[in-house]
Amino acid sequence: MDAIWESILNGLHRILVEGVIANLSGMFDYVNEQVGDIAAQVGTTPSAWNASIYNMVRNLSETVILPIAGVILAFVMTLELIQMVADKNSMHDVDTWMFFKWIFKTACAVLIVTNTWNIVMGVFDAAQSVVDSSVGVISSTAPLDISTVTADLEARLMEMEIGELFGIWMQTCFVGIAMWILSACIFVIVYGRMIEVYIVTSIAPIPMATMTNREWGGMGQNYQRSLFALGFQAFLIVVCVAIYAALVQNIALTDDILYAIWTCVGYTVLLCFCLFKTGSLSKAIFNAH
Structural domain boundaries of the chain? 2-285
Q: How far apart are CA 31 and CA 272, in angstroms?
A: 11
Q: What is the per-residue pLDDT for 244?
A: 80
16 has a pLDDT exceeding 80: no
261 has a pLDDT exceeding 80: no
26 has a pLDDT exceeding 70: no
* Closest among 57, 262, 243, 210 to 134, alpha carbons compared: 243
Q: What is the per-residue pLDDT for 56?
A: 92
Better-predicted residue by pLDDT, 8 or 222: 222
Q: What is the per-residue pLDDT for 101?
A: 77
Better-predicted residue by pLDDT, 278 or 95: 278
Listed ranges 55-69, 144-158, 275-289; the one with the highest mean pLDDT = 55-69
Q: What is the per-residue pLDDT for 167?
A: 81
Q: What is the per-residue pLDDT for 289?
A: 47
Instruction: Please report, rounded to a whole number, the percentage of residues in the chain having pLDDT higher than 70.
Output: 80
Q: What is the per-residue pLDDT for 137?
A: 61
Q: Are 225 and 287 in contact (CB under 8 A)?
A: yes
Q: Mean pLDDT across the stretch 193-210?
A: 88
Better-predicted residue by pLDDT, 213 or 123: 123
- The average confidence (pLDDT) of the chain is 78
* Closest among 70, 55, 108 to 206, alpha carbons compared: 70
Sign of CA dihedral 249, 253, 258, 263: negative
* Closest among 273, 278, 270 to 251, alpha carbons compared: 270
- How does residue 93 score in pLDDT terms, banded at 50, 70 and 90? low
Provide the whole-model pTM: 0.78
Q: What is the per-residue pLDDT for 192?
A: 87
Q: Are 262 and 251 in contact (CB under 8 A)?
A: no
74 has a pLDDT exceeding 70: yes
261 CB-near residues (< 8 Å, 6+ apart): 24, 27, 146, 171, 172, 175
273 has a pLDDT exceeding 80: yes
What is the tens place of the pLDDT at every residue in 97-126?
777 777 888 888 888 888 888 888 888 888
